[in-house]
Amino acid sequence: MYNFLVFIHSYVRWAIFILAIWALYSAYMGLIRKRDWTEADRRPGSLFTLVMSVQLLIGFLVYFYPGGLVLSAFSNISNAMATTQLRFFVAEHLVVMIIAIAFAHIGTARAKRAVSAIAKYRQSAIWYTLSTITMLLGIPWWRAMFRGL
pLDDT tens-place string over residues 8-58? 998 899 999 999 999 999 999 999 999 999 989 999 999 999 999 999 999
DSSP 8-state class, residue 114: -
Lowest mean pLDDT among 79-88, 95-104, 138-147: 138-147
Per-position b or e across 34-54, b if 16+ CB within 10 A of its CB = eeebeeebbebbbbbbebbee
- What does pTM read for this prediction? 0.87
Model pLDDT, residue 149: 41
Radius of gyration of the chain from its Cα atoms, rounded to whole angstroms: 17
For the chain, give the mean pLDDT: 90
Is 57 in a helix, a strand, or coil? helix
Long-range own/partner contacts, residues 106-115 (CB < 8 A, 24 or more apart): 107/45, 107/49, 107/131, 108/45, 108/46, 108/49, 111/42, 111/45, 112/42
pLDDT band at 70 (very low <50, low <70, confident <90, very high): confident
